[in-house]
Amino acid sequence: MKYRYPILNAEMPDKEDIKRMTPNRATREMLECLEGEGIETSFDRYIAQQPQCSFGLRGLCCRRCLWGPCRLDTRGDKGRARGICGADVNLVVMGNLLRGLAAGCAAHGQHAREVIETLILTAEGKTSFEIVEKGVILELAKRFHLDIGKPFDQLAATVGKILLDDLSRVEEVEMKTLLAYAPEERINTWREMGILPRSAFYEIVEALHKTTLGGDSDWKDLAKQELRTALAYCFSTLFGSSLATEALFGIPRPKTVELNYGILENDCVNILIHGHTPTLVEKIIEKIESPEIQKLAKDAGAQGVQLTGVCCTGAELLARHGIPSLGGILAQELIIGTGAIDAVIVDMQCVIPGLKTVADCWGTEIITTSQSNRIPDATHVPFDPIKADEIALEISRRAVEAYSRRHHSKTNIPDVKSKAIIGFSLEAILDIFGGRRNLLELLESGKIKGIVTVVGCNTPKVPYENSHVIIARELIKHGILVTTSGCSSHALLNAGLCALGAAELAAAGLREVCQERGIPPVLAVGACVDNTRTIRLFIELAEEAGMPINKLPFLFSGPEPGNEKTIGQGMAFLALGVSVHQGFPGPIPVPIPVAKADSDFLDDYDRGGNDVADFFAEDIHDLLGARVYSEPYPDLAAKLIQMHIRRKRLEWASAASTCLISGTM
Ligand code: MSK
């Protein structure tokens, strides 16, 4: 049964819609297969949860203190326009949004902490890792105004400590990474607005502190804390993770790969890598290739070992090593449902509890490696960077030994493969275009109309991966270059939009650019922390243009918001001056509807505004030159994004006093 939510002007898909509309044939086959086996997944549990609470969906349920939960209702005279403490709708909506962002910031914060600590320990000679991309350390050192004549390891340790300090300091000091990378115009704007952050951990604590019972009652002050926390999230948890990872393990470069479910091999040990931090996994790759583990696999009767990835560790492995990925967060149960996965090695985040339930049906070994992400009854081998070699060897052994327990008669691998070119780091993109000036000229000429980053998670509330694919396909059709990361990238990779052939789907100018340079029109940049790469690309282009970022034809689209981390990503781009499209159900609640007095029909609800939604849609533009667009339907969202890009091109043309509008969109 389908559920309509007139209050949100939206309809939730039922299982048949999902099976009909999800773009990857492998996903459709696996949904059918697991349904046939009677194995429940997130898609079934989502249907079982219908109808979901309409207060919660609109951000109007407050559970922050023990007096509640309070459900706020501004319709009619029910005495529920305020919570028990007196909080009104704006305070509740804004407080929920801020707490969501703080949670997302904490998640990427722990990710950053693990990688940066490994970098420091490595610089101090305490691990067997190596800093393979010395240039990243030197670049950071220059930006931090360090003496680059110092011994390299000493310099690397100092750089690591600055990154760690930006993550965790408690003093009232401005963040060094922000000052090193953000455009001066933005820093001045943020300073004027009073939203320069101190550190990620500081702002997380302050966000939670301000939203406790009897804390900050001024929703506009909470909105400022939202932006401050988003900046800390951006310039510490994203930049810190991404740059420290690049220093340790290398900057990705383009490679051609085959991916999707069909790359699983029936007669190989199939190991799925899952989570967010690539630290331990880098060692596991090494060990899997070692003669000892290869022999173990052969002795068990396997032809070899096939490593595959899911979610963001999967995206990291794909970008850096070309290890094939299979899907995003909502695919994890389906992948195990093939029965062909012998072991899943997980680190942290986006590892849903349902994973174990499906794994138990097939006898799949789950190995957890992070103290922060335990799963009951799973094998736990905790990561320690100092003992990374022995831990990685033990995990590799266990994973390979699981092959002999597989029920080979029960495997069902969808025969679907996709081709793609991956590994578009900032450096790779600039090299391909021969520097930022050339890329900017392509934007100026209109051959590339704009750059939109289509990113973020998945949600069962819309047909799986459908929005990502429709939006990206429409944008390239209209000459807009797309970058993508995280779970969104898995959707676009599997849909073939990151393959060379996808250039055929692009508008003439973009097609020509792609074919000349041998790139697809959708550039997969890496994991969700690697949004850093798109941010740095936007900063580079704005510097080259001599314009603020908010004057250029860029946009951030998160079509399927899921994890709280999505909130930080959207807010970070917004603070930088890049407008944001949020799909359904966005982290910023849609305006509250008002019933028409003369009608009983739910369809006749008006969409009256709440101040928070209006603030992010309108008022914020005066402060940052960017806004949030909310549009659940992907075809309409694609049109809205094109209009935004066109408007930005006109603004850019008038600001630069050059005529850019001859190539109309
Ligand atoms: S894994 S945070 S569902 S992108 Fe980064 Fe995917 Fe979102 Fe997790």
pTM attached to this predicted model:
0.95
**Best of 373, 565, 567 to mutate for ligand 1, by most ligand atoms within 8 A of CB?**
565
Is the peptide bond between 585 and the residue preceding it cis, with omega within 30 degrees of 0?
Answer: yes
β-strand partners of 71: 61
Q: Is 244:119 a contact under the CB 8 Å cutoff?
A: yes
Q: Is the pLDDT of residue 661 over 50?
A: no
Nearest to 491 by CA among 560, 537, 569: 560
> Which burial class, exposed, middle or buried, applies to 88 when counting CB atoms under 10 A from its CB (0-12, 13-18, 19+)?
middle
If you measure from the C-alpha of residue 243 to the centroid of ligand 1, how many angstroms do you get, rounded to a whole number? 19
Nearest to 550 by CA among 626, 452, 477, 622: 626
**Which tokens go with 74?**
């501004």
Spell out the residues 6+ positions from residue 186 whose beta carbon is closer than 8 angstroms to its own: 548, 549, 575, 576, 577
Q: Output the CA–CA distances (angstroms, integers) from residue 297 to 288, 306, 336, 381, 398, in the order listed.
A: 10, 11, 20, 20, 11
Nearest to 65 by CA among 200, 212, 170, 174: 212
**Best of 311, 349, 355 to mutate for ligand 1, by most ligand atoms within 8 A of CB?**
311
In the prediction, which pLDDT does 604 show?
41
State the average pLDDT for the chain. 93
Q: Summarize pLDDT for 7-56 with one digit per residue, the tens.
A: 566 678 889 999 999 999 999 999 999 999 999 999 999 999 988 888 88
**Best of 528, 567, 569, 582 to mutate for ligand 1, by most ligand atoms within 8 A of CB?**
528
Nearest to 233 by CA among 526, 535, 482: 535
User: What class is the 255-410 domain?
Assistant: alpha beta
If you measure from the C-alpha of residue 285 to the centroid of ligand 1, how many angstroms do you get, rounded to a whole number? 22
**Which tokens go with 226?**
């939202």
**Which tokens go with 516?**
């000349």
Question: What DSSP line would sit under 323-368, residue for residue?
Answer: PPEEE-GGGHHHHHTTS---EEEE-SSS--THHHHHHHHHT-EEEE
Higher pLDDT, 9 or 536: 536
In the prediction, which pLDDT does 597 show?
53
In the prediction, which pLDDT does 273 show?
97
Interval 479-493 mean pLDDT: 98
Nearest CA to ligand 1 atom 3: 457
If you measure from the C-alpha of residue 560 to the centroid of ligand 1, how many angstroms do you get, rounded to a whole number? 11
Q: Is the pLDDT of residue 611 over 90?
A: no
Amino acid at 338: T
Q: What is d(CA 103, CA 110) in angstroms, rounded to the nearest whole number?
A: 11
Q: Is the pLDDT of residue 360 over 90?
A: yes
Q: Is the pLDDT of residue 484 over 50?
A: yes
Confirm whether 89-172+183-249 and 424-654 share one CATH topology: no
Higher pLDDT, 153 or 589: 153
In the prediction, which pLDDT does 595 show?
52
Query: In the chain, what are the domain boundaries?
Result: 3-75, 89-172+183-249, 255-410, 424-654
Residue 349 CA, closest ligand 1 atom number = 8
CATH numeric code, 89-172+183-249: 1.20.1270.30
**Best of 313, 350, 453 to mutate for ligand 1, by most ligand atoms within 8 A of CB?**
350
In the prediction, which pLDDT does 372 show?
94
Our CA dihedral for 185, 187, 192, 194, rounded to 10 degrees, sits at: 160
Q: What is d(CA 469, CA 554) in angstroms, rounded to the nearest whole number?
A: 19
Nearest CA to ligand 1 atom 5: 312
How many CA atoms lie less than 13 Å away from 663 in the CB half-sphere? 20
Nearest CA to ligand 1 atom 7: 457
Residue 565 CA, closest ligand 1 atom number = 2
Q: What is d(CA 80, CA 82) in angstroms, rounded to the nearest whole number?
A: 5
If you measure from the C-alpha of residue 566 to the centroid of ligand 1, how many angstroms do you get, rounded to a whole number? 8
Q: Which residues line ligand 1 (CB under 6 A)?
A: 276, 311-312, 328-329, 350, 456-457, 486-487, 527-528, 562-563, 565
CATH topology for 424-654? Answer: Rossmann fold (3.40.50)
Q: What is d(CA 70, CA 55) in angstroms, rounded to the nearest whole number?
A: 9
Q: Is 316:337 a contact under the CB 8 Å cutoff?
A: no
Q: Is 31:330 a contact under the CB 8 Å cutoff?
A: no
Q: How confident is the model at residue 598 (pLDDT cuts 50, 70, 90)?
A: low
**Which tokens go with 525?**
């940049």
Please state, as a whole number, how many other Cβ atoms lie within 10 Å of the Cβ of residue 164: 20
Q: What is d(CA 30, CA 36) in angstroms, rounded to the nearest whole number?
A: 10
